[in-house]
Structure 1
Amino acid sequence: MTSQKATLIGLVAIVLWSTMVGLIRGVSEGLGPVGGAAMIYSLSGLLLIFTVGLPDIRRFPGRYLIAGSVLFVSYEICLALSLGYAATRHQAIEVGMVNYLWPSLTILFAILFNGQKTNWLIVPGLLIALTGVCWVLGGENGLNPGEIISNVATSPLSYLLAFLGAFIWATYCTVTNKYARGFNGITVFVLLTAVALWLHYFLTPQ
């Protein structure tokens, strides 16, 4: 695969990813944060079985299988619950924006840990991305630290999960790119996410 094609696929993935906020929030309002997320990933897992198939995990590199599973499941749970626990739909959008620090963090991690080549433009790019997130969190008052803190305080768990998820997904992208060796474990990872969410649903009060 050429770098241009890979970049195009990545851009399409980001566009598709942007629909997840509305989807997860909408389903969560009907089925609850955990139950809604569990249903989404269960159906996604079934779809992947019929489209991508079930891979032979015995052929997977051990590091990829373990790290990929843990990081993928952790991220998806953070994302789904951060949106589901948001106090309002507007706050869910803000939480989604916080989570969208992951593309910038992925680039940063690729440079730091995978030796990705870059230039000085990466610095202002990362600063602009961070400023944009802070601006969204400030609401109508923009870059107002007090307003940002007050806004986050209304639903700290949602914002914390979204922020943590951004780092987890950036780590996932960096690690899997290094250890995957051409293998694709997405079907397994999504099914594991569904199992983890259903366990959480049945073992904890909702």
Structure 2
Amino acid sequence: MFNSVNSATCIGLSSILIWASLVAVVKLITESLTPISAIALIYSFSAMSILVLNGLPRFQHMSKVYVWGCGALFVAYEILFLVSIALSQNHDQVLIIAMINYLWPPLTIVFSILAKQLNYRWPIVLGFIVSVLGLLLVVNPDILNLRQFLHILQQNPIAYFFAFLGALLWPCYSVLTKKYAQGQNAVPLFFVVTAVSLWGIHFMMDEAFIFPQLNMWLLIAVTGALVGIAYSNWNQSLQFGNIKLLILATYFMPVLSSFMSMLILEATPSLSFWIGTCLVTFGAMICWKSTAEI
């Protein structure tokens, strides 16, 4: 499918750029429409995009644990993460939610160790602590002030809880997928279920539907299509590209996502936010360097 390893790797890196921009773009769209319907529209286009590129998988021949178990985790993660963005009350909260979500790289390593998929060395403990301290610094620059920390969380507890729960679910999905997928790819099916579930939530909540204007339709269609393309390209790039470089690049997503959000949302993160973001990335990289596949 690709002319060279380098082209496959570049395609994979483009997926990371799309995901890093997703948080800010989703927030822009949900600010103009009702939250759940906006997300449902985006993922409807994503589902159509990935179906066009990959087709509907023959899930009858796949492991039931993978299809039902991993599928449920995938759908739950996508919904929780996207809804947490939609529920954010301002752009500063969007940045915090993104950082909570990007705890998943070190958590994936921890869960992989518990599942006996990785060997590890003691610096992994240091890496995980550094990531958590970085997140705490992002949420509350006065990191030792517990009362201030709780006050910040109480400003939007549901959104922060959804983001944190999503950060726990994605590592579970990753670990179980590695064990049960057996080389199969049911992501197109998962996207369809995610889109249908979001529309179900929209109707159950009796949420008003704001019909998007033409420019918003274009933004929704492009965003949704790019998300579908990113997932499709990522699976291909992992097979044909430089997997070590691609995995390493994912650990820079907190910094990249913050930078893209700053540009798109015109936010002005504080110095402590950037320090915390870099600590999250640095801690994840320590965890990565301290492990090896069994």
What TM-score comes out, normalization by structure 2 length?
Answer: 0.64
Q: Which amino acid aligns with 1:152?
A: L
Q: Is contact 1:114–1:178 with CA below 8 Å preserved after alignment? A: no
Question: For 1:18, what is the secondary structure of its paired residue?
Answer: helix
Shift, 1:16, TM fit = 3.6
Q: Deviations over 1:57-116 (max 9, x none)?
A: 111111100111110111011001101001111101101111111111101000111331
1-side partners of 2:13 and 2:114: how far apart? 22
Q: Distance in 1 between matches of 2:109 and 2:18?
A: 19
CA distance in 2, matches of 1:170, 1:161: 15
Tell me the CA shift for residue 143 of structure 1: 4.6
Tell me, in whole angstroms, the C-alpha distance in 1 between the residues paired with 2:200 and 2:101. 24
**1:21-64 Cα deviation digits (max 9, x unpaired):** 11221111122221111111111101101112211111111110
Letter in 1 for 2:63: P
Report the Cα distance in structure 2 between the residues aligned to 1:201 and 1:67, rounded to whole angstroms: 24
Deviation at 1:15, TM superposition (A): 4.6
Aligned to 1:175: 176
CA-atom RMSD in angstroms? 2.2
Checking the alignment, whether the CA contact within 8 Å between 1:57 and 1:65 is kept in structure 2 is yes
- Cα 1:74–1:153 change in 2 (3 A) is same
1:115 is matched with 117
Kindly indicate whether the alpha-carbon contact (under 8 Å) linking 1:61 and 1:179 is maintained by their aligned counterparts in 2: yes
For the pair shown, the structure with the greater C-alpha radius of gyration is: 2
Aligned position for 1:95:
97
Structure 2 distance, partners of 1:89, 1:122, is 32
Provide the secondary structure at the position in 1 that maps to 2:27: helix
1:132 to 118, 131, 134: 134
Match of 1:78 in 2: 80
SS in 2 for 1:55: coil
Measure, in 1, the Cα distance between the counterparts of 2:16 and 2:127: 17
**Matched AA of 2:76:** S
Task: Report what 2:215 is aligned to.
Answer: none
Distance, in Å, in 1 between the alignment partners of 2:117 and 2:204 is 43
Deviation per CA, 1:123-144, whole angstroms, max 9, x where unpaired? 11111111111000004x3453
Q: Which amino acid aligns with 2:131?
A: A
| Distance apart, 1:202 and its partner CA | 1.2
Cα distance, 1:11–1:130 mapped onto 2, change above 3 Å: farther
Whether the 8 Å contact between 1:134 and 1:143 is mirrored in structure 2 is: no
- Is the alpha carbon distance of 1:13 and 1:121 closer, same or farther for their aligned partners in structure 2, counting shifts above 3 Å? farther
C-alpha distance 21-127 of structure 1, shift in aligned 2 (>3 A): same
Cα offset, 1:183, TM superposition: 0.3
Cα gap change, 1:122/1:11 in structure 2, threshold over 3 Å: closer, same or farther?
farther
Q: Specify the code of the residue in structure 1 equivalent to 2:129.
A: L
Verify the 8 A CA contact 1:101 1:166 in the aligned structure 2: yes
Kindly indicate whether the alpha-carbon contact (under 8 Å) linking 1:86 and 1:92 is maintained by their aligned counterparts in 2: yes
Q: CA distance change for structure 1 residues 131 and 119 in 2, over 3 Å: closer, same or farther?
A: same
| Structure 2: gaps spanning 5 or more residues | 1-5, 208-294
39, 45, 48: which is aligned to 1:46?
Answer: 48
Q: Distance in 2 between matches of 1:56 and 1:195?
A: 19
Q: Give the aligned partner of residue 185 of structure 1.
A: 186
User: Which residue in 1 is equivalent to 2:57?
Assistant: 55
Question: Displacement of 1:166 after TM fit?
Answer: 0.5
Q: Give the Cα–Cα distance (whole angstroms) in 2 for the partners of residues 188 and 34 of structure 1.
A: 20
| Identity between Structure 1 and Structure 2 (%) | 34
The Cα shift of 1:10 comes to 7.9
User: Using the alignment, how far apart are the partners of 2:107 and 2:12 within structure 1?
Assistant: 15
Q: Is the 8 A contact 1:104 1:126 kept in 2?
A: yes
Q: Give, in whole Å, the separation in 1 of the partners of 2:101 and 2:192.
A: 22
2:227 is equivalent to residue 203 of structure 1: no
Aligned partner of 2:186: which letter? G
Q: Tell me, what secondary structure is at the counterpart of 2:120?
A: coil
Unaligned residue ranges in structure 1 (runs of 5+): none
1:36 paired residue number: 38
Q: Distance between the aligned counterparts of 2:168 and 2:160, measured in 1?
A: 13
Count of residues paired in the alignment: 202
